[in-house]
Chain A
Amino acid sequence: MIVRKALSVCFTLFFLCLSLLASAQQQNTEKGPVNEFFRSDGKIYVVVGVLVIIFLGIVLFLSRLERRISKLEKRQQPHS
């Protein structure tokens, strides 16, 4: 179980790096008021990072909750 979890985390990180690279390559050169605001200095990636951290935090919370529920289920099983 732990190995599988660790594998999935590694896979996730790998995927993340890949897509970051991919999106960095298609950087936008067009100028317009919106583009200048939204992508100034390419710092939109900071926002993306913030969202990724929050999302991964929620996922971590969910998987911990899931593990706790499984543990409770297992504890109840022998009695039935």
Chain B
Amino acid sequence: MTRIWWKVLAVLILLYTIIVGLTIQIPMIGTNAESSRGLFYHVPMWISMYTLFTISVINSLRYLRNYDLKYDVSASSAANVGTFFGVLGFATGTLWATYTWGGSLPTDPKQMSTALALLIYMAYLVLRMSIQDIDKRARISAVFNVFAFALLIPLTYIIPRMVDSLHPGAGSTPGFSKSDTDHHMMMVFYPAMVGWTLLGVWLYSLQLRYRKLELKNIFGNDRP
């Protein structure tokens, strides 16, 4: 985790997406116009969030297998950074919606269900704070995390696809069809997803190392 090359790669990719993402030509469509560039910055937040929540649930499952507290630290750090990216994704989405859908929180099913999913993960973080006993906290929150992840996928991905929504990627509005995004946009969009995911993993590794140091001070020097 301390190796530097992938962090440098993340920074270079993100610089590329900031510079090129704001200056390339994009198709001007309806009320979206230049705001389509939000695609380069809004969607990668979610990709990063999904990656971190996946890391989190994998570590929770590993914890439940042999009750090693080190996995619990990993799981909570990943959930922490994942929620951070989720909030950023939600905030950018509402800002975007204000100028294209005519309201920051219209009764859009995708926005509503995503807000629910985020609240579930915030509940996970609050739940952790409410339990003093370290082992009990780890067990309860690991089980909670599995259920949170099991709800995340239908709430943010499946249900919004089954109903009508203004959001691309819903029942009547397929996302990223050829008519609204051209291949120049994809040349920024795909690297942006990689870059933000790498940055998310970097933040997660920092958080994890900090938490481990903190725990070392509590436990003495042998754990975790």
Contact = CB atoms under 8 A, between A and B. Distances in A.
A20 B7 CA distance: 22
B134 interface: no
Interface residues of A, number: 36
A66 B23 contact: no
B24 A26 contact: yes
B24 A55 contact: no
B221 interface: yes
A70 B8 contact: no
A22 B25 CA distance: 13
Given A11-B12, A76-B213, A62 B20 contact: no
B28 A23 contact: no
Contacts of B15: 12, 15-16, 19, 52, 55-56
B202 interface: yes
Given A15-B12, A34-B28, A34-B34, A69 B206 contact: yes
A55 B14 contact: yes
Contact of A12 (B12, B221, B222): B12
A40 interface: no
Interface residues of B, number: 28
A31 interface: no
Contact of B216 (A38, A70, A76): A76
A76 B22 contact: no
B213 A69 contact: yes
Interface of A: 4-5, 8, 11-12, 15-16, 19-20, 22-23, 26, 28, 32, 34, 38, 44-45, 47-48, 51-52, 55-56, 59, 62-63, 65-66, 69-70, 72-73, 76, 79-80
Given A63-B7, A65-B206, 20 more contacts: A8-B4, A12-B8, A15-B12, A16-B19, A19-B16, A19-B20, A23-B19, A34-B33, A44-B22, A45-B23, A48-B19, A48-B22, A51-B22, A52-B15, A56-B15, A66-B2, A66-B206, A69-B210, A69-B213, A73-B209
17 contacts: A11-B8, A12-B11, A12-B12, A19-B20, A23-B20, A23-B24, A34-B34, A38-B34, A52-B19, A59-B11, A62-B206, A66-B206, A69-B213, A73-B213, A76-B221, A80-B221, A80-B222
